[in-house]
Amino acid sequence: MTLRLGSTLKFSNLLQNIGNIKNPFRNSYNYPITFEHVVFPPNEQFKLPTMPPEPIYDESLGETKHKLTKQFIEARGFEPIHTELIHKQYGLVAMSGGFIKAEDFAWIQQEVNEKLVDKQFAIWRVDAPWLPRVRRPPSTKKGGGKGPIHHYETPVRTGRVILELGGYITEQEARSILMHLYLHMPFPVEFVSQELMDKRKELEMKVHANNRNKFDWDTLIKYNMQNCKAWLSPYDVYWNILLHYEQAVWTHCEVIKLEIISYFVGFSKCFSSFSVPNWLPSLSAAVSTFAPERFIWRLFIGLHGTPRLVAAFACKNFLVTSSLWPFPFRPWYRWASQFACALNLAEILSLILLSSVSSTEDHFLHALCFSGFTFFAHFYMFVSIWLFDFSGRRRSSKLGELSFQYKVLCCAGSVLSLLFVLYFYYRHNRFCEPGVYTLFALSEYSLILFNILFHSTLYYDFHSRALTLNTAALSSAAGYDLLPLYSEKRT
């Protein structure tokens, strides 16, 4: 039985090999190309029309010529709309951005129209020149503004279909018409067909379906690897809103996906983006990427750093030198005051460090400093309030009681703001809801405001006191210490 099965398989393989042998006495022909699916232009205009060298203005409507900026942004990025062939045959596509002049349109029209035969058509897929370009005469001196309008251009982005060929035309004929246009175009272009574009889309879908790389674009954007989201965080709100409002309120929920698919020659880039509405910038980072906001913020943070360090030691001495603590004296109280001073110093140094290192320069270090600033600030609030009550400074005067109440109120507001910050931060990153980032920014503002108000209670603690700076030589000039140059009022 096994022998019969083996012989049967060998015989079938032999027949298959014989069938694959080409017969030299038999000719095989390909099926002829038919054009039953060709769609002609509805206006029955088969030739490329003449492009006007400049826009036509209607004076009755009040339209006049006016100068514009260079607007290079109109030729940057990928074309989001005009990337498909309308007639599903052949076309010329831009491989990079550029500008087309009226002379280029006239030359393309002449070359293409001369080679078109019956039942073949060509159509434009770009607008007529509309972007004005100015130029001064050679003998004009510098200054005095822009010169007169010299000509007009049409901006074209990457992937934009410039023109299409169709009708009763084969791919070889279309290539012969469009290939020599490469040398004259001011930017690189490529010949495409509907079959080629379909293969590129199929390859793109295949790569996306069979992708084994764990670090694809979606994962990189989701987990912000290597700071790909580029957080934009302002640090002087007034100047940031005044100068860079659009960039300041931008959030990382604006997802930009980039896919590069190569097939034979050329390439195509596909972008898709969506943005979440936001109306307030964030204060979650310490240094902005815009000028002059970052210079203003860093200047004032640096100026206030030294007085705050001095105030930290003054607060420690203010608590230690109190004579109203409960009897008997507890040794750990002095160590607790030292610990509170260390927390205050850590808070100030964290603020200075996160102001010096922006999130775009070192995101990990910046986030670590911001977390340390938040932790040390609230821990210092709890410890300082408890020590202020235990030391008896609260009961020393009416201002002491008022200061204690303000400290408790600001601490409670800061903790509540921190909870709202964490909640809205989670909601924004989890669901990307409209307006949630604005609430997150407001919570951050209130957090910073309560922190400032808490430290402003030093006005009541050091009321009627003055700071004196002197040298060590004058402290014992005649064998005794100098008298203080201030008087403390009892209130």
Residues 381 and 254 in one domain: no
Residues 373 and 409 in one domain: yes
Specify if 11 maps to a domain.
no
More confident residue, 182 or 244: 182
Q: DSSP alpha helices (H): ranges in 128-284?
A: 171-178, 194-209, 217-222, 237-243, 245-248
Q: Identify the bridge partners of residue 268 per DSSP, sorted by sequence position.
A: 261
Residue 287 has pLDDT above 80, yes or no: no
Specify if 45 maps to a domain.
yes
Residues 379 and 423 in one domain: yes
Specify if 175 maps to a domain.
yes
Specify if 483 maps to a domain.
no
- SS3 call for 157: coil
| Per-residue model confidence (pLDDT) at position 268 | 32
Specify if 263 maps to a domain.
yes
Number of domains composing the chain: 3
Residues 125 and 242 in one domain: no
Cβ neighbour number for residue 41 with a 10 Å cutoff: 15
Residue 265 has pLDDT above 50, yes or no: no
Q: Please state, in angstroms and rounded to a whole number, the distance separating the CA atoms of residues 423 and 418.
A: 9
Specify if 398 maps to a domain.
yes
Q: Please state, in angstroms and rounded to a whole number, the distance separating the CA atoms of residues 5 and 466.
A: 110
| Per-residue model confidence (pLDDT) at position 274 | 40
Cα dihedral 15, 16, 21, 22 sign: positive
| Per-residue model confidence (pLDDT) at position 27 | 61
Specify if 318 maps to a domain.
yes
Q: What is the mean pLDDT of residues 462-482?
A: 60
| AA letter at 247 | Q
Residues 124 and 173 in one domain: yes
* Alpha-carbon Rg for the chain in angstroms: 38
Q: Do the bridges between strand 255-262 and strand 149-156 make them parallel or antiparallel, or are there none, so unpaired?
A: unpaired
Q: Please state, in angstroms and rounded to a whole number, the distance separating the CA atoms of residues 361 and 289.
A: 9
pLDDT band at 428 (very low <50, low <70, confident <90, very high): confident
Cα dihedral 403, 404, 410, 414 sign: positive
306 exposure class (CB count in 10 Å sphere: 0-12, 13-18, 19+): exposed
- Look at the block and give the residue holding tokens 């006016």: 66
Q: What would the pLDDT profile of 110-120 be if each residue is shown by its tens digit?
A: 999 999 999 99
pLDDT band at 490 (very low <50, low <70, confident <90, very high): very low
Q: At what angle do helices 332-356 and 293-320 cross, to 10 degrees?
A: 180
Q: What would the pLDDT profile of 115-140 be if each residue is shown by its tens digit?
A: 999 999 999 999 999 999 998 887 77
| Per-residue model confidence (pLDDT) at position 202 | 93
Which domain CATH number covers 185? Answer: 3.90.1170.10
More confident residue, 396 or 39: 39
DSSP assignments along 225-247, one per residue: GGGTT-----SSHHHHHHH-HHH
The mean pLDDT value of the chain amounts to: 78
| Per-residue model confidence (pLDDT) at position 221 | 64
- For 371-428, list the strands marked E by DSSP: none
Residues 174 and 225 in one domain: no
Omega before residue 138 within 30° of 0, cis:
no
| Per-residue model confidence (pLDDT) at position 412 | 95
More confident residue, 472 or 96: 96
Q: Name which of 162-171, 247-256, 286-295 the model is least confident about.
A: 247-256
- For 67-201, list the strands marked E by DSSP: 90-94, 98-101, 120-124, 131-134, 149-156, 161-167, 189-193
pLDDT band at 157 (very low <50, low <70, confident <90, very high): very high
Cβ neighbour number for residue 430 with a 10 Å cutoff: 9
Residues 247 and 353 in one domain: no
What's CA 102's distance to the chain center, in Å?
36
Q: Name which of 78-87, 104-113, 173-182, 239-248 the model is least confident about.
A: 239-248
Q: In which domain, by residue range, is 35 found?
A: 30-57+64-135+147-197
Specify if 154 maps to a domain.
yes
Residues 265 and 315 in one domain: no
Residues 331 and 447 in one domain: yes
More confident residue, 290 or 455: 455
Q: Name which of 39-53, 180-194, 198-212, 268-282 the model is least confident about.
A: 268-282
Terminal-residue alpha carbon distance, the chain: 117
Residues 97 and 224 in one domain: no
Q: Please state, in angstroms and rounded to a whole number, the distance separating the CA atoms of residues 450 and 410.
A: 5
Q: What would the pLDDT profile of 304-363 be if each residue is shown by its tens digit?
A: 888 899 999 999 988 888 877 665 667 788 899 999 999 999 999 999 988 887 777 777
Residues 304 and 401 in one domain: yes
| Per-residue model confidence (pLDDT) at position 117 | 92
Residues 153 and 265 in one domain: no
